[in-house]
Chain A
Amino acid sequence: MNIDLSRRGFLRLAGAGVAATSLGAMGFGEAEAAEAAHVRAFKLATTTETRNTCPYCSVACGIIMYSKGDVKTGETAELLHIEGDADHPTNRGTLCPKGAALKDFVHAPTRLTQPRIRKPGASEWEEISWNDALDRIARAIKDDRDENFIATNEAGTPVNRWTTAGFLAASATTNETAWLTYKTVRSMGIVGFDNQARV
């Protein structure tokens, strides 16, 4: 495209350009109407709060999970953010670096969401349904307990011990869960019982 521009016209345009930019530089630049100052929209507005316990160690810090959507009302909840619960007596809102990064733990592509089994001799894990998993566990527990349960010691005193199986429980549970776990495990006579915080 050719522009028919005389020398005089060119100089005139150039002059106008210089004048305009100079005016801008001298503080008449408000006409540019820059995006007004603003802070980022608060991302937790209208989210659903869910109180929970951090699953990592036995300190069991209180956390609040913030999600878009409420599972209780039948919606799908998308987890947006997790932070420490300031009302929780254990941590008063603080979290360690692992706890502070819990959102990524929940969203991790490698997160275990289904029971898996590695059969004797196999090198790979395979997925298994909860029903099958629980049946297998019950069978194995029953067989081992029937075989190795010690009802009485040498003196004939009842001891009801089952020493060939151990149980590893979660460290961060509610009092109720901890009570149930303890009762279940001890009622079978299991002696080796610990939680994963000491692992």
Chain B
Amino acid sequence: MKDIATAPTTAVSNPPVQPTEAYFDARDVVRISATRDVPRPERQLEPVAKLIDVSKCIGCKACQSACVEWNDTHPEIGENVGVYENPHDLTPDMFTLMRFSEWENPATNELEWLIRKDGCMHCEDPGCLKACPAPGAIVQYSNGIVDFIHENCIGCGYCVTGCPFDIPRISEVNHKSYKCTLCSDRVAVGQGPACAKACPTQAIVFGTKEDMKVHAAERIEDLKSRGYENAGLYDPQGVGGTHVIYVLHHADKPGVYADLEENPRISPIVEGWKGVTKTAGLAAIGLAALGATLHGLFSRGNEVDDHDTQAADVLVKGRDPDDTHGGQV
């Protein structure tokens, strides 16, 4: 008899080794790519969130190590190009990446070394899912996790275009799209993501989104008391909020953190293409089909009458068949 896991409220716990049944599954899916009218789940799971406090991050990359180990990816050995980022961009084998920015604060004239852990934000309104044309390749669970179902992925790359944060990467090996899963397999058995558990300074913490907001508020208050007046929470509403949220000491300028989007939104092209254009296109197809059917049903086939025969003869033979004089027209 398998125990059913309970929803995780922290990443600080040791994984179970006895067979444990996931606390959420296909029944908790609220959105499915290229599928409309997903039935509303019978239950609403408690939304989860990963909180990244960039002011506590020391850039050690334990999260990257832990991510690679847990997800069994095998990134290539990198090359130093003079910056600490390694690899130099997210890859299909590296779902999370420390991004380092050197920023001169105009208010203090001091150089600040800003470190941000980049990766999937698990948007409430996911652009990847909206853009995806493959039914069932991207799903969203009611706890907020946006997950790729690789068996259904066709590797078209629309999710990359649709993502406001430029996160998914297409594997050149199997032509499938990869990104952070929020360790859905760990969360399912009541554990936090591998990165959050490993983080030595606990700059990454995990729990219910409500708890994380409370924790963030405490951190922001602390930062403000230390002179960071603009400290704040990054939970962008342009994508309905996210399930990976940041505490930023310069929340008024997210762009200084390695170009974090000021106001992320799903590209209007994707919105338009999958919204108005798709509806209008389908309507046009429908109308054309309807017209063709009606035409086929109600109009009769063309029949040749005497007048047509005569006209054709004039065209072909160059004369009127009734013209007995044989003269030219």
Residues of A within 8 A of B (CB): 15, 18-19, 22, 25-27, 29-30, 32, 34-49, 64, 66, 81-87, 91-101, 103-104
Contacts and interface: CB of A to CB of B under 8 A. Distances in A.
A82 B69 contact: yes
Contacts of B200: 91, 94-96
B197 A84 contact: yes
B17 A37 contact: no
Interface string B297-316: 00000000000000000000
B131 to A, nearest CB: 16
Interface string B143-165: 00001010110000000000000
CB-based closest 4 A-B pairs: A34-B136, A100-B65, A35-B151, A40-B185
B198 A83 contact: yes
Interface string B22-35: 10111001001011
B186 interface: yes
A8 to B, nearest CB: 12
B62 interface: yes
Given A44-B15, A97-B60, A32 B282 contact: no
Contacts of A47: 17
A45 B66 contact: no
Contact of A37 (B136, B187, B286): B136
Contact of A93 (B24, B36, B139, B197): B197
Contacts of A44: 15-17
Contacts of A85: 14
A100 B61 CA distance: 10
13 contacts: A34-B135, A35-B149, A37-B139, A41-B185, A45-B20, A48-B17, A66-B17, A83-B15, A93-B198, A97-B61, A97-B65, A100-B66, A103-B69
B199 interface: yes
Which of A30, A44, A91 has the most C-beta atoms of chain B within 10 angstroms of its own C-beta?
A: A44
B32 to A, nearest CB: 7
A37 B292 CA distance: 39
A46 B19 CA distance: 6
B189 A100 contact: no
Q: How large is the interface on B (under 10, 10 to 19, 20 to 34, 35 or more residues)?
A: 35 or more
A40 B66 contact: no
Contacts of A40: 181, 184-185
Contacts of A34: 134-137, 149, 152
Nearest to A39: B184
A26 B136 CA distance: 16
A101 B69 contact: yes
B12 interface: yes
B181 A38 contact: no
A111 B199 CA distance: 26
Interface in B35-58: 35-37
Identify which of A82, A94, A95 gathers the most chain B CB atoms within 10 Å of its CB: A94
Given A37-B29, A46-B19, A83-B194, A25 B199 contact: no
B12 A39 contact: no
B9 interface: no
Nearest to A32: B135
Contacts of A104: 69
B18 interface: yes
Contacts of B34: 29
A32 B33 CA distance: 13
B12 A92 contact: yes
Contacts of A95: 62, 65-66, 198, 200
Contacts of B62: 94-97, 99-100
Contact of B199 (A46, A81, A94, A103): A94
Nearest to A91: B200
Contacts of A42: 15, 20, 22, 185-186, 188-189
B149 A93 contact: no
B289 interface: yes
A94 B202 contact: yes
Given A35-B149, A44-B16, 7 more contacts: A25-B282, A26-B286, A39-B22, A66-B15, A95-B66, A97-B62, A97-B64
